[in-house]
Structure 1
Amino acid sequence: MNQENTQIVATFYKFVSLPDFAEKQEPLLSYCLSQDIKGTILLAAEGINGTIAGSRQSIDAVFAYLRSDRCLADLEHKESYAQTPPFERMKVRLKPEIVTLGLPEVDPNQQVGIYVTPAEWNDLISDPEVTVIDTRNEYEVRIGTFQGANNPHTNSFREFPEYVQHHLNPNQHKKVALFCTGGIRCEKASSFMLSQGFTEVYHLKGGILKYLAEIPAAESLWEGECFVFDERVAVRHGLAAGSHELCFCCGHPIAEPDKASPHYEEGISCPYCFAQLTQEKRVRQQEKWRQYQLQQVSPPDS
């Protein structure tokens, strides 16, 4: 990897009371632009959530700026690397929620479950009295999850409350352990479940990514790969790049067995979107794929 051109991709979030969040928007956007940072940062009364990219110096400067606010002094972030800029512009948006559950009244700043470190996680989810729930979406769960975890079969985080109402009972499910990719969804889900009368709710601190980074494969209860929202698509233990790639048509993660399907056609369709592929859409997709291939082979100065 060319270190000179390497982009640092930083992801971060923090649930913290920000009553003046709207006033922070323009100064934060201006500072990020001054540092040639690109990406998206969400601000809400409940906190901050973002993914940004830039040079080492620029990323360090932005986090120094953010942590100069006493509310964000202990803001943590995770880093990965990209050979090309992953974002085209910089956005700072105001939102009702920094991760959309659809219930702004659920506030992790008021109540939240019990944080469990990766080192403690195996013992917790091995307890037969603990109900383990994956709070991610169906396409994420499909490529990897923890042994024995329940899959809510949700297509978006907004559907999680309905899953809880129809499948879980605080009188029956006394101990619940939640997890997600980086920790933000399971942290908010724990707050929601406490509001619904569940009393002993745990969630994985730092999410799957921290677990895969810290727990050796020989000791791991993770099976498969973990979907990530960047150019790596999926990662394995030690955060090594996984084997999945994205369908050019629908963006669903696909593995080698998916490519053996008669419904897979590179650039056109995969087993997860073939059923929706009309002839009109096929023609449009063929042209998009052709244009993409032309861009890939064009000389740099063309």
Structure 2
Amino acid sequence: MYRVLLYYCYTPIEDVEGFREEHHRLCLRLNLLGRIIVAPEGLNGTVSGRTADCEEYMRILKADPRFAALEFKIEPSEAHTFQKLHVRVKPEIVHVGLPEIKPYERTGIHLSPQEFRDMKDQDDVVILDVRSDYEHELGRFKNAVTLDIENFREFPDKVDELAQYKDKKILTYCTGGIKCEKASAFLLEKGFENVYQLHGGIIKYGLEAGGEDFEGKCYVFDGRVAVDVNSVNPTIISTCHHCHTPSARMINCANPHCNAHVPLCETCGEKLDGACSEPCQQHPDKRPYDGTGTYPKLSNNYNPEQGLLSYRAPKVTS
């Protein structure tokens, strides 16, 4: 049996390069696959691995005083949900262009999934989705305010559009909670006074509150692409990009120059050979379509033990 771990922790890390090397070796030893970002402001990752390896990984991280408050969102899986391992150093653990904003010093009030569920329908509350277009088009909370952004780094430019809600309680949410830490901190910096965030994000809300009133599916950044969250009153709100029938099946356009994240039903997926449109289907650089609509990025997969090489964890049989 495998597990998928989603986590982040805003905490100062002084020697980011040294930590990255050490952490990469740990992941290699435990045969974990996934994407991990190390930055001066903290750690962010989604990894998959065998249950025992994930347990050991969590134990080691939690034993480090810097990550004592770290919380893992844990989901079962039948196999690895990643094909490769990346451990990278970046300026921020989620790119928004606000390295001066330090959520470990000041951020919105954390709400548990149960507290969020109890508050979300109150008259003086606005639910704010801080994710990108392709994410909230696939699934979002009922009555949520969404922003027209292709990437989270566009969020600061959209804050002026939220001025009409300054007298309300703003409940922010995202996939796992990491974007809300920066978003809610930035809202406080801009003069919003009553700012909250769904602690642990949509994933934890699904695990602990049944996902009630989350409409559609949740976009995730691993091989699963879209996951069910709502076991109370589930719906599908997205439609096929081509034929417009209800569909929660997400793909990346097979044309790498487009690479759009769009819902595409299986019938249209076969008809267009994984492309989002007929012009993209005819593009000479179109990638082969294997029915999944996912295309892992090529990487030199730096291995701290051996330099640059193509690394894949060894296959483990049950």
Whether these two folds match at TM > 0.5 is yes
Question: 1:126: Cα distance to partner?
Answer: 1.6
User: d(CA) in 2 for partners of 1:292 and 1:210?
Assistant: 26
Summarize deviations over 1:195-232 as a string: whole Å, max 9, x none: 11111101111111222222246xx2322222222333
- What is aligned with 2:204? 210
- What is aligned with 2:2? 7
List gaps (5 residues or longer) in structure 1: 1-5, 294-302
User: d(CA) in 2 for partners of 1:107 and 1:201?
Assistant: 16
- Contact 1:143/1:225 (CA < 8 Å) preserved in 2? yes
Q: Secondary structure at the match of 1:23?
A: helix
- What is aligned with 1:189? 183
Summarize deviations over 1:178-211 as a string: whole Å, max 9, x none: 1111111112100111111111101111111222
Select between 198-207 and 12-21 the one with higher mean Cα deviation: 12-21
The root-mean-square deviation of aligned C-alpha atoms, in Å, is: 2.9
Q: Identity rate of aligned residues, in percent? A: 33
Task: Please tell me whether residue 277 in structure 1 is matched to residue 271 in structure 2.
Answer: no
Higher share in helix = 1
Report the number of matched residues: 275
TM-score, normalised by the number of residues in structure 1: 0.80
List gaps (5 residues or longer) in structure 2: 237-246, 294-318
Question: 1:170: Cα distance to partner?
Answer: 7.8
Q: Which amino acid is 2:280 matched to? A: L
CA, structure 1 residues 234+255, in 2 after alignment: closer, same or farther (shift >3 Å)? farther
Summarize deviations over 1:108-166 as a string: whole Å, max 9, x none: 0121001111112233222222222111111111122112211111110001111103x
CA, structure 1 residues 120+98, in 2 after alignment: closer, same or farther (shift >3 Å)? same
- What is aligned with 1:267? 273
Question: 1:255: Cα distance to partner?
Answer: 5.5
- Contact 1:131/1:176 (CA < 8 Å) preserved in 2? yes
Q: Secondary structure at the match of 1:92?
A: strand
**Selected match of 2:261 from 252, 266, 272:** 252
**Selected match of 2:63 from 68, 73, 76:** 68
User: d(CA) in 1 for partners of 2:7 and 2:197?
Assistant: 17
CA, structure 1 residues 119+255, in 2 after alignment: closer, same or farther (shift >3 Å)? farther
**Selected match of 2:215 from 220, 223, 236:** 223
Task: Please tell me whether residue 105 in structure 1 is matched to residue 111 in structure 2.
Answer: no
- What is aligned with 1:296? none
Q: Which amino acid is 1:230 matched to? A: D
Q: Which amino acid is 1:288 matched to? A: P
User: d(CA) in 2 for partners of 1:168 and 1:185?
Assistant: 17
User: d(CA) in 1 for partners of 2:180 and 2:279?
Assistant: 32
Summarize deviations over 1:256-282 as a string: whole Å, max 9, x none: 4xx677x98343323xxx276273x1x
